[in-house]
Homo-oligomer: A and B are copies of this chain.
Amino acid sequence: MKKSLIAFVFLAFAFGCQEQKSDEKAKEDPSAQKTDPLPSWNEGENKKRIIQFVENAIDEKNKNFIPIEKRIATFDNDGTLWAEQPAYFQLIFALGQIHKMAADHPEWKDEAPFKHVLNNDMESLMKEGESGLLKIVMTTHSDVTVEEFQKQVKEWLKITKHPTHNVLFTDMTYLPMQELIDYLKVNEFKVYIVSGGGVDFMRAWAPEVYGIPTEQIIGSTMKSELTKTDSSVQVTKVAELEFIDDKEGKPISIQKFIGKKPVIAVGNSDGDLAMLQFCDDNELPSLPIYIHHTDEEREWAYDRESHIGKLDKGLEEATAKGWIVTDMKSDWKKIWKWE
């Protein structure tokens, strides 16, 4: 965990909830929407290439036809389907949980790193470094059944607002990506999330928000064990990392969970590069897509130097290989549904 990331968390907490965006819906032409599968995308080369790829894939007479069982699309989540600034939302959740759990842990008021979280003293928390944050994640994500953990996530999502945009975190999802998911589903692609985020965290809300079932959500995992009582059989999360679903971990987990290379893979950072390469290597026609954060006004602008969602090598390779690089500022007519 980079120090600057922790600094972002601090900033998020210190200056949270300043901005209130208008909920007014953009006025759209309903007749145009009917025929355009991606109405929140501006016309242009990228939109055209995506639609052409899908139209070829479903046309049995086209040389780029893809049989239904091979229509696998994998999406990163943080920074690709929803925002990841000023810090990964799952980390903001973990910090919030420490506050909530503190009543049962009076000892935390004198114990680092917990006391720093409770005192909103992000500078001191920052000094605890990676091991301090890992302790916070472990404490809030283990010794709990998956069922109970997901209840906690759902509860938090229902009441907590994003620190700068002041909307629910589930409203920090990108409308153009929702449209892309729906477009692919209608055309019988099986859409997966393949994220560095925790799988149990995402499965608590992503099925409802994206319409992607739990079995199509892959993420980082903690070890787990079976807890049997007379009245129940539950899986309990254990305080030990099992698998980090990032970088080369992504193609490895795609092979393990899905068993075939994706024909579409979408990401936004160097952490997604191996997944996009895996997609690019498909013997079938394939479409690796990067989302480039270029809109500091409506969203955030960051890439090569960022500590969250760093996109450096990926940008080089995408350019060299002619992959789609979606420019959020120019390609997306609308980013948020509440815009």
27 A-B pairs (CB sep. < 8 Å)? A69-B207, A69-B213, A72-B215, A199-B256, A199-B259, A203-B259, A214-B258, A214-B260, A215-B257, A217-B259, A221-B256, A224-B255, A225-B248, A225-B252, A226-B248, A226-B252, A228-B277, A232-B281, A233-B251, A233-B274, A233-B278, A233-B280, A233-B281, A234-B281, A235-B251, A235-B252, A257-B257
**How many chain-A residues does the 8 Å CB contact rule pick out?**
34
Q: How many copies of this kind of chain does the complex include?
A: 2
Contact residues, A37-75 vs B (CB, 8 A): 69, 72
Please indicate which of the listed interface residues A224, A235, A248 has the most CB atoms of chain B within 10 Å of its own CB.
Answer: A235
Q: Which of B199, B225, B259, B274 contacts A214 (CB 8 A)?
A: B259
B190–A215 CB distance below 8 A: yes
A256 near B224: Cβ-Cβ < 8 Å:
yes
Knowing that A72-B215, A190-B215, A257-B257 touch, tell me 5 more A-B residue pairs with CB under 8 angstroms.
Answer: A69-B213, A226-B251, A233-B280, A233-B281, A234-B281
Decide if A146 is an interface residue (CB 8 Å cutoff).
Answer: yes
A255 to B207, CA, bound (A): 15
CB contacts (< 8 Å) of A199 on chain B: these are 256, 259
Least Cβ–Cβ distance between A118 and chain B, in angstroms:
32
Most buried by B among A235, A259, A260, A278: A259
Q: Contact string, A227-238, partner B, CB cutoff 8 A, digits 1/0?
A: 010001111000
The residues of A with any CB-CB pair to B shorter than 8 Å are 69, 72, 146, 190, 199, 203, 207, 213-215, 217, 221, 224-226, 228, 232-235, 248, 251-252, 255-260, 274, 277-278, 280-281
For A278, the chain B residues whose CB sits under 8 A away are: 233
CA distance A278 to B274 in the complex (A): 36
**Which residue of chain B is the closest to A150 with respect to CB atoms?**
B259
Q: Write the nearest CB–CB distance from A325 to chain B, whole angstroms.
A: 20
Q: How far is the CA of A255 from the CA of B233 in the complex (A)?
A: 11
CA distance A233 to B280 in the complex (A): 9
Separation of A69 and B203 alpha carbons in the complex (Å): 13
Nearest chain B CB to A189 CB, angstrom units: 13
Q: Given the complex, which residues of B lie within 8 Å of A72, measured CB to CB?
A: 215
**A333 nearest CB across to chain B (Å):** 32
Q: Which 3 A-B pairs have the closest CB atoms?
A: A214-B259, A235-B255, A233-B281
What residues of B have a CB within 8 angstroms of the CB of A277 in the complex?
228, 233
